[in-house]
Every structure is written in C-alpha cells, then in structure tokens.
Amino acid sequence: MEALPAFSVPSLYNSTSIAPDITSAIRKPMFFNLQLNPKLSLPDRKKLKSRLFTALSPTVSTELSTDPPADEPEIEGSTQKFDWYSQWYPVMPVCDLDKRAPHAKKVLGIDVVVWWDRNESAWKVFDDTCPHRLAPLSEGRIDQWGRLQCVYHGWCFDGSGDCKLIPQAPRDGPPIHTFKKACAAAYPSTVQNDILWFWPNTDPQYKDIISRKKPPYIPELDDPSFTRLMGNRDIPYGYEILIENLMDPSHVPYAHYGLMPTQQPKEKVDREGGRPLELSIDKLDINGFTADQGWSDSKFMSPCIFYAYSKPDQPNVSASSADAKKSSRQRKAALIFICIPVSPGKSRLIWSFPRNFGRWIDKVVPRWIFHIGQNLILDSDLYLLHVQEHKIMDVGPSNWQKACFVPTKSDALVVGYRKWLKKYSGGQVEWRGKYSGLLPPSPPREQLMDRYWSHVVNCKSCRVAYKSLNVAEVVLQLISVASVGIVAAMKEGMVSAAARNSLVVMAVLSFALSRWVAHFVYKNFRYHDYNHAFR
Ligand code: FES
Ligand SMILES: [Fe+2]
C-alpha cells in the first residue's frame, strides 16, 4: 500500500526540491523522497552508536534477537504491557462525515455508530447496538428533533445515550424509557486535529477522560499557515502490516515504481535505483519511538500514528541569518499516517501531508484529484501486503522476528515497530478474544482492490466527483443521441452540408467522450488492477 506519501506532499525529504512543484504536489507524495535522498540520509556516526536499534548486519546474525543487545540503553518501562483499551482512537476525518446521517464504523473490533448531535453541536460515538433488540443504530436516522432513531421500532436517543422515546410504551404507563437498560452505550469522544476520536470504553468512570488524557496532538494539523488536506481508506490487511509498511521507505522505488519520484543513487544497481538507507531508532518505550531518517525526524506514537516531519533547514554558512530564518520558515512539511486497527486483516488509514508552502495548489485543485494518485499508490502494493499478512499469520505473528530476515538498516523502523509490538503486546493487537485468530478469507482481486466501497463512499470529495462524472457521461450520451436524431430527422436541403457534418461530428465526439468518462470513472473510482510485471 503505500507509503502514501507521495500523495500530494511536496518533497519533504528533498532538501533541494522543497519549492513547490505543481506536478509532484498533485501526483506524488514525498514521504519517501525524504528517506530516499542519498544526500539526506548520511548518518552521524556518533549518533548511530547511541541508537537503540538498527536492522541487523548480515554478518551478525540471520535472525533478530528479541533481547536488547548488550550495549543498548535500558528501555524505559520494559515490563509494562500496552493497554489497547485505554487509548484514544481516531475514527474519521470530520471533513468526510455527513451530518445528516449516522455512520457505521468499526475500530478495534468494536462496532460504533457516529452521528451528529445538532442539539449539542457535537459528534457522538455510540455502540452500534440498539438496547431494545440489538438492531444496528447506524441503519437508523436523525429525527426532526435531532435525536438518533433506531428504525426497527423507533426508539430515540439523545446525545448522552438516554432513551427519549419508546413509541410502544403507553403514554400513561411507567416511564420505562428512563430505565438504564433503555439507554444506548455512549463512548467518550472528541474532535482534535479535525479528526473524530473515541475512547473505547463506555464505563462511566471514563466519561470525562478527556480532562485527564487527550489524543496525541499533531501541531501541523491545527496550524493555519499549513495546508492539510486529508484522506481516508479502508484497507484489506491488518493495522500491523499497514503501519510497518508506512515506516519502510526502501520499498518505494520497487512497489511504487514510476508512481513517485525517488532520489537516484550515483551508481544504479538496478532499474529502480534502490540503495542502502541508514535508518535508526533513537528511543523506544511503551509510547512509541522516535527515529532518524536523514533529514527528517519521525515518530511512532503508539498505537496509531506514524509522523515524519522535516528538520529545520540547516543554516547555510554563506547565507545571511535573515535568509536562513526565512528559509527555515518557508520549508516545513510533515507526513502523517494514522493507522487504525479495525479487525484482524482489516485496517483504516487516515493520511495528511501538511506543508507551509505551495498552499495555493490545494485551494485550486479539488481533493479528489489528489486522491486518484494516492489511491493508486495504495493499490500498487495492496495485493503484496494482503498476501504477506497471510504468510505471517501462518507462522504466527509473535514469530515475526524468527520468520523474517531483515539484515539491512533500511528495515530499522520496521524492526523497531515489531520490537515495540512484541515487547509491549506479545506481537499482536489485543482483540480481547473476539476473533478466532484466523484472517478472513481472501476475496477475489476485484473486491480486494475495490476503491468505491473502501474510499469513494467515505470521501466527500470523491463522492461528489463520482456523481458529477456519472451525470456528465449521461449528458454526453444524450447529446450524441440527440445529434444523430436531428441529423436523421432533417430533410435534404433543410440545412447546409457543413451544419449537418458538424452535428455528425458532435455525435461521434460526444459518444467517444462519454466512453472515455465511463472508463475514467471505472478506473479511478471503482477498480484499478495493478500488474508490476508490465510497469
Ligand atoms: S431494535 Fe431498536 S427499536 Fe427495536
Ligand atoms: Fe477521495
């Protein structure tokens, strides 16, 4: 999938190409460029010595030890266990939620319904189960008083989950709607960084959890001097595979060949230009790790966020301090990947590539144009990762270190992430016994790489574009048919031959254009297969 990076992000990692380049800003993310620019990845040897992890040298071992090397600094909190159910989880970017309807989402194996409470002007997250007879509330509607109505028998709930109406209860009978068992289960929720978050525990002791613990904060997403478009996609492989893939720049020249620019080495050893990468992890604890990728720093903020950001520009000794200051102000970008565990074999990705330059591009170009390229990048390694996950499950996720051979430093972040997962969570997400431990069976390729249900229906911009382009296709067909009809109905001599020919040309062009639009819509909004052998 991708290092979605290339999406719309300017070349964060390319120190010489941060000036906005429209083409690359639209089509290519830069996440990986950062890590692929040889000029940027020269490590400071002294620093490297103090790093906790790098991938193993092939001369050292063929297998990763799960014990820290002898010279590793003590890892803080090494005996702690990560509590997956005492964390804030992102649900969706607010820009892609429709206030008029409830939305079904699954996070951490929990089915939730997300809805807009206009009485409190707030997004609400409830368990997606009606207390009456367990119908999904997400199939319901918002009634005229702004309550969430279950459409099976009409029970209504306010923003706190309190039942406000049981239509079947006698008006002069006891107030059964006030019983605790009549309430919907409401999760604590909040909006931060334009993303809706929820706390996966409805116990009343967590009602005000926001006053004690907040979701991880990403300053660039709230900074008005940055442009920060978002995207989201449901992914047919698990959260672990998703996040480690986004931490791995070395696959970009191969899995995303031709889709995003990568810095080429002086001496190429192959068509794609792969090269050694000096990646390393600085500090790892239960809250994640920080890493050095050359001219970018990155952070894994457990469990969901991988965040890479440009280091301040190094002042040029020949430049005046004013120039250096200006340069530092002008060139800031970040790559933000939010990876959400949905269920075994399924995850959701929210991405954003904020930058404080070339902002006008995002004002002029609609978001769906960026999403076409970004979805293609996701598609280009989607099948690889889906199959890879099944193979890892075959050996057991806690055996990842034994099954994989990761001898170079380009895998350092992946190794670090797997180490974090093993150390603090036994090598896998805690599903609380909800699943059997098996992955869902692989669907046909068309379904696996479907774009419509995984993205378009969940993206406001793509949804509108999809509908508009479908209308355009029909209009073009009508023009074509009407032109042919007019020509056929006209009698000889009624109009000039030139006018007649123009109508014929219009019919042909309209028809051809309608076919092109249909193809464009199918390929970009429905299904786009990807064959690496012919790229
Ligand atoms: S199941 Fe919801 S009202 Fe009956
Ligand atoms: Fe989209």
Q: Looking at residues 343-372, what average pLDDT do you find?
A: 95
pLDDT at 327: 54
Report whether pLDDT(11) > 60: no
Domain boundaries, the chain: 4-79+235-296+364-442, 89-211, 462-534
Q: Which residues are CB-neighbours of 194 under 8 A, at least 6 positions away?
A: 93, 94, 95, 221, 222, 228, 230
Residue located nearest, by CA, to atom 1 of ligand 1: 133
Ligand 1 neighbourhood includes 284 CB (under 6 angstroms)? no
Q: Looking at residues 118-147, what average pLDDT do you find?
A: 98
Tens of pLDDT, residue by residue over 192-249, are 999 999 999 999 999 999 999 999 999 999 999 999 999 999 999 999 999 999 999 9
Give, to the nearest 10 degrees, the angle between helix 239-246 and helix 382-395.
120
Distance between Cα 238 and ligand 1 center (Å): 32
Contacts 24+ apart (CB under 8 A), 69-78: 75/284, 75/285, 75/423, 76/285, 76/286, 77/285, 77/286, 78/423
Q: Which ligand is nearest to the CA of 153?
A: 1
pLDDT at 384: 95
Per the listing, tokens 């525990």 go with 201
Chain centroid to CA 303: how far? 14
pLDDT at 478: 97
Sign of CA dihedral 369, 371, 375, 377: positive
Q: Looking at residues 138-146, what average pLDDT do you find?
A: 98
Range of lowest pLDDT (61-70, 149-158, 473-482): 61-70
Band (491; pLDDT cuts 50, 70, 90):
confident
Band (43; pLDDT cuts 50, 70, 90):
very low
pLDDT at 260: 85
ipTM of this predicted complex?
A: 0.96
pLDDT at 319: 44
Tens of pLDDT, residue by residue over 391-407, are 999 999 889 999 999 99
**CA distances to 359, 370, 447 from 224, in Å:** 11, 20, 39
Superfamily of domain 89-211: Rieske [2Fe-2S] iron-sulphur domain (2.102.10.10)
Residue located nearest, by CA, to atom 4 of ligand 1: 153
Burial of 454 (0-12, 13-18, 19+ CB in 10 A): buried
> How long is the chain?
535
Question: From start to end of 200-269, where are the E strands?
Answer: 230-235
pLDDT at 151: 98
Tens of pLDDT, residue by residue over 308-353, are 988 765 444 344 555 555 555 677 899 999 999 999 999 999 999 9
Distance between Cα 449 and ligand 2 center (Å): 15
Q: Which residue has the higher pLDDT, 447 or 315?
A: 447
Burial 397-419 (b: 16+ CB within 10 A, else e): beebbeebebbbbbbbbbbbbbb
User: Mean pLDDT across the chain, nearest whole number?
Assistant: 85
Ligand 1 neighbourhood includes 155 CB (under 6 angstroms)? yes
Report whether pLDDT(41) > 60: no
Q: Which residue has the higher pLDDT, 67 or 286?
A: 286
Question: From start to end of 236-304, where are the E strands?
Answer: 280-285, 288-292, 296-301
Residue located nearest, by CA, to atom 3 of ligand 1: 153
Ligand 1 neighbourhood includes 153 CB (under 6 angstroms)? yes
Mutating to test ligand 1, I would choose from 113, 150, 157, 166 the residue with most ligand atoms within 8 A of its C-beta, which is: 150
Distance between Cα 267 and ligand 2 center (Å): 38
Band (58; pLDDT cuts 50, 70, 90):
very low
Band (102; pLDDT cuts 50, 70, 90):
very high
Mutating to test ligand 1, I would choose from 126, 132, 156, 168 the residue with most ligand atoms within 8 A of its C-beta, which is: 132
CB distance 10 to 18 below 8 Å: yes
Task: Give the number of other Cβ atoms within 10 Å of residue 530's Cβ.
Answer: 18
pLDDT at 69: 34
Band (296; pLDDT cuts 50, 70, 90):
confident
Give, to the nearest 10 degrees, the angle between helix 412-425 and helix 239-246.
150
Q: Looking at residues 61-80, what average pLDDT do you find?
A: 43
Q: Which of 247, 296, 319, 297 is nearest to 40 (CA)?
A: 296
Q: Which residues are CB-neighbours of 289 under 8 A, at least 6 positions away?
A: 52, 281, 282, 283, 299, 300, 416, 417, 420
Please tell me the distance from the alpha carbon of residue 251 to that of residue 245, in angstroms, as a whole number. 8
Please give the helix or strand (H or E) that residue 498 lies within, else none.
Answer: helix 497-521
Report whether pLDDT(52) > 80: no
Residue 153 Cα: closest atom of ligand 1: 3
Range of lowest pLDDT (77-81, 250-254, 366-370, 525-529): 77-81
Token digits for 290?
Answer: 């920080």
Ligand 1 neighbourhood includes 150 CB (under 6 angstroms)? yes
Phi then psi for residue 153, to 5 deg, are: -130, 5
Q: How many helices (H) and strands (E) does the chain have?
A: 14, 18
Band (498; pLDDT cuts 50, 70, 90):
confident
Report whether pLDDT(48) > 60: no
Share of the chain above pLDDT 90, in %: 71
